[in-house]
Structure 1
Amino acid sequence: MQNLKPTLTLILFLLTFQFYAQEVTVLDADSGIPVDNIAIFNKDQSKTTITDANGKGDLNIFAPNERITFKHISYEPFSTTKSQIGRRGNRVYLFLKTEELQEVVMSVSKWEQQKKHIPQKIETFDARNIAFTTPKTAADLLQNSGKVFVQKSQLGGGSPMIRGFATNRILLSVDGVRMNNAIFRGGNLQNVISVDPFTIKKTEVTFGPGSVIYGSDAIGGVMNFYTQQPRFSYADSLAFSGNVNYRYSSANNENTAHVDFNFGKQKWASYSSFTYNNFDDLKMGKHGPDSYLRPNYVVQENGTDVLVANDDPKKQVSSGYDQVNFLQKFTYRPNSTWNYDLGLYYSETSDFPRYDRLIRPSKDGDGLRSAEWYYGPQKWFMGNFQITQKGKNKFYDGVKLTTAYQFFEESRHDRGFQDVELYSTQEKVDALSVNLDFENKKIGALNLYYGAEYVFNKVHSMGSMRNIETDEVEETASRYPDGSTWQTLAGYINGEYQLKPNLSLLSGIRYSQVWVDATFDTTYYPFPFDEADIVTGALTGSLGLSWFPRSDLQVTLNGSTGFRAPNIDDIGKIFDSEPGSVVVPNPDLEPEYAYNGELGIRKNFNDVVVLKGATYYTYLVDALVRRDFSFGGQTEIEYNGEPSNVQAIQNAAKAYVYGFEFGVEAYFNEHLSLNSNLTLTEGVEEDDDGTDSPSRHAAPTFGDVHLIWENQKLKADVFVNYNGEVSNDDLALSEQGKTYMYASDANGNPFSPSWYTLNFRSQYQITNALKASVSLENMTNQRYRMYSSGIAAPGTNLVLGLGYIF
């Protein structure tokens, strides 16, 4: 029995030691990679330790409830307790400092590159910044950045404008897969709202042409959304974590709920996310133009359309909608060389009204033109499978194969006031893409990135007319030629060369071949042609440098070209572009080309003030624009029962856009900082006959100023957003006719007034697991519309959020 006592004592000691012993793994929040040399210390720094090469640190010297801090020069400091770390699986995730030049970006080559070596302007927004700004949609995420202008025709929308270009002249990418499809139009697009902001790990916006890597459409810029990756476990046990979020906003009585969770083992991991949004009708501000008010709207009484007075003219009746988003990701890493990733994405809206069409006045001006005008459910599905191999090879150090299938569905439904026919068109697109991308970092000071891409789109389109009294349905003309296809095959090579430690050169070239095939149905319109069969190619390139004449001064210079090949929307659509006008097909189109030059400067004053500036000039030739057209010798045809002027997309113009972008960051002390952005854009379209007009997508001068205070638990931001005026003379000709969307100047002509808003935003970390946010937007209750927008912006808006990590 006495021999048993030492054994029992030893067992009790080992059990006690195992209970109190604790090791933490510190990981990069974006990549999930372990981080070494992280200092870990208590409040008075009497106890300190440091993480090793595997990101592991020993916490045995700290008491269970003692507050400890994790700190590194490149990361934001983080404080917690040992017991809380244990409840989180002994893992701590740190975020890179936003001002770090060492930041890694992927948009320029599809592989990781240091931002300081990139000659193009790139802005990044990480998950932490996104969570702080609490955007309702991905469109609001871009708008909140202060660097991208967003137009809205309805609440369920958001069309970004970058450097005077928009819609099908800027490219949208999700996890390396282009979302732009064959029916992306020149009019305003709302596809960006299909991306769930709760799932975004990082957003990178590249300003200027990106056609070397992304091909057609990347003229004004590229928006890359990278969603959350499943996280592996760095222990033998299963790692489980997740988030629950709720958000409410008063201006549209929004209710949003989100949940995500992660399962991880050492070789496989899974990430699941679900978000539900419910938006009621949006309420505008109190102080502003009366022409923005909604004095009346249409209802049906006893089967008849009736115009009724709006009890609250500031409430934009028929603007609300619902949306669901789902994301499921799996990743498998059998060893350090191979990685297999599968992503399944789904987004669907309810029917959502196109508000700008619902407020159009009737021809006599006494009523409203439309009784109904709404988009059917907007659906998007993507299956994305990616295989990545990294390791030494004779021809590459990394290879990535990305295969994706996407399905898009959208529809339009409109009915005139007191008409019995509801006209509908429905579009579906099947999109396949294959990308093969290589990186080679072993040719001296030269890093090569090269690859190939194939994209295939097939468009399904149909039209119908339903009598709302008899419920009889008959076929009508479709919006696009049914069964039409668009495809492209391309190859590219991009190189980064380190000329000197402070001077790097980035250059690339790409050739794209594009095929468009469409057969026209002459049942409803006597087309003077049977088909469109376009085969065209485009050669694009870029050359730029990043130079640090001093460690605190960076100068970038870049020249690049971009192109956009005609798609099915350009060559084959039939739709009413505006009251009394109809757009018809035109099979004789060629690509449009852009030539761009850009100069950027970044100056750091002792890590206290950072000034950034960029200027650019873009020249667009053979621009695809909507102009008057002759259709079978006729300049006017009947469309949906109404005589309409004939127009078509044509290579009928040149355009030039130039602008300036400024930014300042100032750090007054450890807690207080200021940042501000200012963007000025000018654009002109010049027709072949020598006439010119302002560019439709050149945004007004816009900017913001933020004063931010933060400590370990609280972050608060007082900021001003502002937009400059667009006078009647500076409105595009296509906008001057939309008097119902704009205010009237002293001469009674439409114009877009300047505006500003004063706002407050805050976030408080109640515990390591629970945080709350409170924001008050548009505190002075301004009534305003973003330029070219059909819906007024929210008035004073209280936004509440609650998030819990488990």
Structure 2
Amino acid sequence: MKFILSFFVWIFFVGTIQAQEIQILEQESKEPIAGISIYNASRTKSTISDFDGKAVLDNFSDFETIYFEDLLHLKIESNKSKIIENNHIVLLEAKIEGLDEVVISASKFEQSKRDIPQKIISIDAKKIQLINPQTSADLLESSGNVYIQKSQLGGGSPMIRGFSTNRLLITVDGVRMNNAIFRSGNLQNVISIDPFTIQNTEITLGAGSVVYGSDAIGGVMSFYTKKPQLSYSNKTYFKANAIARYASANEEKTGHLDLNFGLKKWAFLSSVSYSNFNDLRMGSHGPEDYLRPEYVVSNNGVDEIVANSNPKIQVPTGFSQINLLQKVRFEPQENLSFDLGLYYSTTSDYSRYDRLIRYRGDELRSAEWYYGPQEWFMGNIQMTKIRSNSNLYDKIQTTLAYQNFKESRNDRSYQSNLKDIREEAVDAFSFNADFEKLLSAKTELFYGVEYVYNKVKSRGEILNIETNETEPTVSRYPNGSNWQSVAAYTSVKFKPSEKFILQSGLRYNYIFMHADFSENNLYLNLPYNETNLNFGALTGSAGISWIPNNIIQWKFNLSTAFRAPNIDDIGKVFDSEPGSVVVPNPDLKAEYAYGGELGLTLNFNNILVVDLATYYTYLDQALVRKDYSLNGETEIIYDGELSNVQAIQNASDARIYGFEAGIHLNFSKQFKLTSQYNVTGGKEEYENGSEIPVRHVSPNFGNTHFIWQKNKFLVDAFAEYNNELSFYQLAPSEQDKDYMYALDENGNPYAPSWYTLNLRTQYQITKSATITASLENITDQRYKTYSSGIASPGRNFIVSLMYSL
């Protein structure tokens, strides 16, 4: 009898517990939503939904009003009885994209985007899955606010508001990727970041030097990778994702697998991605100047120029890439966590295509010009503590990181026996400590310290391909040089009401670097053997966000930013263009930017949202490449060729300005339109009063999307478009690169306008399987993005299948 009674009590108990459990789903996609705050009116009772969107409401009474809220969905209220009647399901409607998202990059701690006076673009994992980018450079381009230049298929150099390369900052999980050899020429380091592992990407448009220091002049691209998920119970939480993808334009074959094991206090995330790309096919309709009529092949050491059987195939451009990620999370208590991250990426050798299409007379100039594997390793450990009782902070986050970068350049002239090989490596150490303190109900303080140390290794050699013998030659950088930065910053957010927010901040950086030129002086005969640079830099910002009513939001921001010279600036030796060589210059100072930005958002009942922004930046003492003399000589022999001498110099000022407009129109819950358009202009002014166009000011560009989504099916029909840059709108350095551009009626290089029409679809086949298919550049246009050596893909069919457990 006791057994029977106990059995019925157990059945009743289990049934009661199950009756209290609910699941929170997104209204359109029916996907579970984690992290929803659930509370009563007095906030005396509360809980949070888990990773499966589930929560237990046993603390709430049947008819008590319960609120469900987070920053990405509309707040609703209900009670337990109604929810049980609805099969224990709570449906939340997503807010309009981008209006009130949580962002981290503005202060390194979570804030509502509404509170931040700068414009920040956010792309989450769900959007990334739909965009289906081949590289993280393609992911940035999809934002509609970032312009991407490519010198080769294994490339992708972002341009933001007229700035690029080492005037933009890249961070991965809060660690700066920029190192001492980030150059002013186009960079492809962003492709080392695996888009399959990204949980969220935040693009800060405009200066970010107060929080991030040197290089953050034009913008900050912050990549946050996925975190291991704990189970918070004695039951193991397991999740796996497998993805396969194919693209027709370059015959891409990609595979990805990630596994998550979550325990009560420990969690582990492992990820691997592999991609193989063949030579890229350009479109059929466009300038014939972009075609590849011939290329060089080498047989038994003999070079020969052969006709290309299909001039639309850009030979050679193929390469492969592998990305590995391992993360470990330990959460000993609710407010304390430790995160370990190990990241590794490497490519195969890949050709620098824009160097292979140059001619010397009637013959191709180079037999070989390729980068060796681009390798990147990072290990970081991060400690985060929240809800602290300390008088100094409420939240603290410390990050200790080590990175290693390796790259090389290999080139050989047509029918030459000598191959020039230059290899570089950088060891980069960094430490950050960031703090948040709520001083009052209206005032919040952010502050932190940072230390960065970079050590550069560089060597050069000449290989005789006939005898296989090598001899040393001038290296690209002074071997053993180092670059260091020490900084402290503070920022205050004052929010007297929900309608008005003021944020201001200051940062002081002290930079010191050392370069030893004695090894390269065996070949260059520089008038100095070493250089030491030491200087401080003070930057600041102040901005307001004003929301006078439910329709209007104004944002206004003033800021200063700086870029300190690095080892690439003071010590590089390389052939910048045919017939020119850049040599070291130890007499450099930091360049400073002074800018202002005004933004206006109009929100008409979440049906129509218009987002406008205008900005102006003055760049003082800009570091630019300019003619130079070495020991009184304006020409020297470099790699066997008489070359014009150039060097990086503080030789100009620049004025850059622009306008951005975006709209988001909801025709219905299922059908919407989004569009973005960007206008940028700028001039560089030299000491003699002459003015030239700024090299990295992109053409006007934009996109328009029509998106329809219902239940498990989504369709995105979109166009991308780009204005022309005439010959006279090109910077002089670009005018000299006629091999990269189309030719106008006068035979001068210019960048033609272009457009593409595209269709993207996504269908959730089952709860576990999702297929994404795209047809890009439907009309098979032949085009190049501005300043790119390689033509963009022609008509391209992309299909991927994702399976999740």
TM range, normalised to the smaller chain? over 0.9
Structure 1 unaligned residues grouped into runs of 5+: 39-50, 61-69, 78-89
Q: 1:614: which partner in 2?
A: 613
Residue 659 in structure 1 maps to residue 661 in structure 2: no
Inter-partner Cα distance in structure 2 for 1:429 and 1:32: 40
Which string of whole-angstrom CA distances, capped at 9 and with x for unpartnered residues, describes residues 538-579 of structure 1? Answer: 100000000011122100000000000000000000000000
8 Å Cα contact 1:30/1:95 also seen in 2 = no
Q: How does 1:51-70 map to 2 (within 5 A)?
A: 53-55=47-49, 56-57=54-55
Question: Is the deviation greater in 496-505 or in 604-613?
Answer: 496-505
Identify which of 374, 378, 383 aligns with 2:374. Answer: 378
Identify which of 341, 344, 357 aligns with 1:343. Answer: 341
Q: 1:392: which partner in 2?
A: 389
Q: 1:33: which partner in 2?
A: 35
Residue 505 in structure 1 maps to residue 502 in structure 2: yes
Residue 669 in structure 1 maps to residue 668 in structure 2: yes
Identify which of 495, 515, 520 aligns with 2:492. Answer: 495
Q: What is the deviation of 1:13?
A: 4.7
Q: What is the deviation of 1:799?
A: 0.3
Inter-partner Cα distance in structure 2 for 1:203 and 1:720: 23
8 Å Cα contact 2:455/2:481 also seen in 1 = yes
Q: What is the deviation of 1:35?
A: 3.6
Closer/same/farther in 2, CA of residues 31 and 736 from structure 1, 3 Å limit: farther
Structure 2 unaligned residues grouped into runs of 5+: 59-67, 76-87
Identify which of 208, 211, 217 aligns with 2:209. Answer: 211
Q: 1:412: which partner in 2?
A: 409
Inter-partner Cα distance in structure 1 for 2:219 and 2:3: 74
Which string of whole-angstrom CA distances, capped at 9 and with x for unpartnered residues, describes residues 652-676 of structure 1? Answer: 0000100000000000001000000
Closer/same/farther in 2, CA of residues 13 and 563 from structure 1, 3 Å limit: closer
Residue 476 in structure 1 maps to residue 473 in structure 2: yes
TM-score, scaled relative to structure 2: 0.92
Q: 2:226: which partner in 1?
A: 228
Residue 450 in structure 1 maps to residue 441 in structure 2: no
Letter of the 1:257 partner, please give it: G
Letter of the 1:603 partner, please give it: L
Identify which of 141, 155, 158 aligns with 2:156. Answer: 158
Determine helix, strand or coil for the equivalent of 1:469.
coil
Which string of whole-angstrom CA distances, capped at 9 and with x for unpartnered residues, describes residues 632-660 of structure 1? Answer: 11100001000000000000000010000
Q: 1:167: which partner in 2?
A: 165
Inter-partner Cα distance in structure 1 for 2:10 and 2:539: 72
Letter of the 2:101 partner, please give it: E
Closer/same/farther in 2, CA of residues 263 and 727 from structure 1, 3 Å limit: same
Letter of the 2:659 partner, please give it: F
Question: Is the deviation greater in 763-772 or in 23-32?
Answer: 23-32
Inter-partner Cα distance in structure 1 for 2:640 and 2:338: 55
Inter-partner Cα distance in structure 1 for 2:416 and 2:21: 72
Q: Percent of aligned positions with the same letter in both sequences?
A: 54
Inter-partner Cα distance in structure 2 for 1:385 and 1:315: 45
Residue 23 in structure 1 maps to residue 25 in structure 2: no
How many residue pairs get aligned? The number is 769
Inter-partner Cα distance in structure 1 for 2:90 and 2:351: 45
Closer/same/farther in 2, CA of residues 320 and 675 from structure 1, 3 Å limit: same
Inter-partner Cα distance in structure 2 for 1:59 and 1:259: 36
Q: 2:82: which partner in 1?
A: none
Inter-partner Cα distance in structure 2 for 1:757 and 1:750: 22
Inter-partner Cα distance in structure 1 for 2:774 and 2:95: 24
Inter-partner Cα distance in structure 2 for 1:471 and 1:134: 44
Q: What is the deviation of 1:359?
A: 0.5
Letter of the 2:641 partner, please give it: E
Q: What is the deviation of 1:443?
A: 2.9
Inter-partner Cα distance in structure 1 for 2:264 and 2:10: 31
Which string of whole-angstrom CA distances, capped at 9 and with x for unpartnered residues, describes residues 477-511 of structure 1? Answer: 10000000000001100010013331110000001
Q: What is the deviation of 1:6?
A: 3.4
8 Å Cα contact 2:588/2:650 also seen in 1 = yes
Determine helix, strand or coil for the equivalent of 1:524.
helix
8 Å Cα contact 2:24/2:32 also seen in 1 = no
Identify which of 369, 374, 392 aligns with 2:365. Answer: 369
Identify which of 185, 188, 191 aligns with 2:186. Answer: 188
Letter of the 1:550 partner, please give it: N
Inter-partner Cα distance in structure 2 for 1:499 and 1:5: 64
Q: 1:781: which partner in 2?
A: 780
8 Å Cα contact 1:653/1:688 also seen in 2 = yes
8 Å Cα contact 1:542/1:561 also seen in 2 = yes
Which string of whole-angstrom CA distances, capped at 9 and with x for unpartnered residues, describes residues 606-640 of structure 1? Answer: 21100000000000010000000001111000010
Closer/same/farther in 2, CA of residues 531 and 718 from structure 1, 3 Å limit: same
8 Å Cα contact 2:406/2:426 also seen in 1 = yes
Letter of the 2:203 partner, please give it: V
Q: What is the deviation of 1:4?
A: 8.2
8 Å Cα contact 1:27/1:35 also seen in 2 = no
Question: Is the deviation greater in 226-235 or in 407-416?
Answer: 226-235
Q: How does 1:45-56 map to 2 (within 5 A)?
A: 53-55=47-49, 56=54
Q: How does 1:95-114 map to 2 (within 5 A)?
A: 97=95, 99=97, 101-114=99-112
Inter-partner Cα distance in structure 2 for 1:330 and 1:26: 28
Determine helix, strand or coil for the equivalent of 1:395.
coil
8 Å Cα contact 1:477/1:524 also seen in 2 = yes
Q: 1:586: which partner in 2?
A: 585
Inter-partner Cα distance in structure 2 for 1:666 and 1:298: 52
Residue 532 in structure 1 maps to residue 531 in structure 2: yes
Q: How does 1:757-796 map to 2 (within 5 A)?
A: 757-796=756-795
Q: 1:523: which partner in 2?
A: 522
Q: 1:803: which partner in 2?
A: 802
Residue 288 in structure 1 maps to residue 286 in structure 2: yes
8 Å Cα contact 2:37/2:70 also seen in 1 = no
Inter-partner Cα distance in structure 2 for 1:686 and 1:726: 20
Q: 2:715: which partner in 1?
A: 716
Q: 1:63: which partner in 2?
A: none
Inter-partner Cα distance in structure 2 for 1:335 and 1:31: 23
8 Å Cα contact 1:27/1:34 also seen in 2 = no
Inter-partner Cα distance in structure 1 for 2:363 and 2:656: 39
Inter-partner Cα distance in structure 2 for 1:565 and 1:267: 42
Q: 1:355: which partner in 2?
A: 353
Inter-partner Cα distance in structure 1 for 2:93 and 2:582: 50
8 Å Cα contact 1:318/1:355 also seen in 2 = yes
Q: What is the deviation of 1:95?
A: 9.7
8 Å Cα contact 1:37/1:72 also seen in 2 = no
8 Å Cα contact 1:251/1:283 also seen in 2 = yes
Determine helix, strand or coil for the equivalent of 1:443.
coil
Inter-partner Cα distance in structure 2 for 1:126 and 1:151: 23
Inter-partner Cα distance in structure 1 for 2:702 and 2:709: 22
Q: 2:458: which partner in 1?
A: 461
Q: What is the deviation of 1:532?
A: 1.2
Question: Is the deviation greater in 105-114 or in 177-186?
Answer: 105-114
Inter-partner Cα distance in structure 2 for 1:383 and 1:95: 39
Inter-partner Cα distance in structure 1 for 2:239 and 2:36: 18
Q: How does 1:677-692 map to 2 (within 5 A)?
A: 677-692=676-691
Inter-partner Cα distance in structure 1 for 2:185 and 2:648: 12
Residue 550 in structure 1 maps to residue 544 in structure 2: no
Query: CA RMSD of the aligned region, Å?
Result: 2.4
Which string of whole-angstrom CA distances, capped at 9 and with x for unpartnered residues, describes residues 440-476 of structure 1? Answer: 0133411000011000000000001101111001111
Q: What is the deviation of 1:103?
A: 1.4
Which string of whole-angstrom CA distances, capped at 9 and with x for unpartnered residues, describes residues 664-718 of structure 1? Answer: 0000001000000000000111111111110110000000010000012011100
Determine helix, strand or coil for the equivalent of 2:133.
coil
Question: Is the deviation greater in 16-25 or in 232-241?
Answer: 16-25
Which string of whole-angstrom CA distances, capped at 9 and with x for unpartnered residues, describes residues 46-71 of structure 1? Answer: xxxxx9623244699xxxxxxxxx99
Inter-partner Cα distance in structure 2 for 1:666 and 1:625: 43
Letter of the 2:591 partner, please give it: E
Closer/same/farther in 2, CA of residues 575 and 609 from structure 1, 3 Å limit: same
8 Å Cα contact 1:27/1:33 also seen in 2 = no
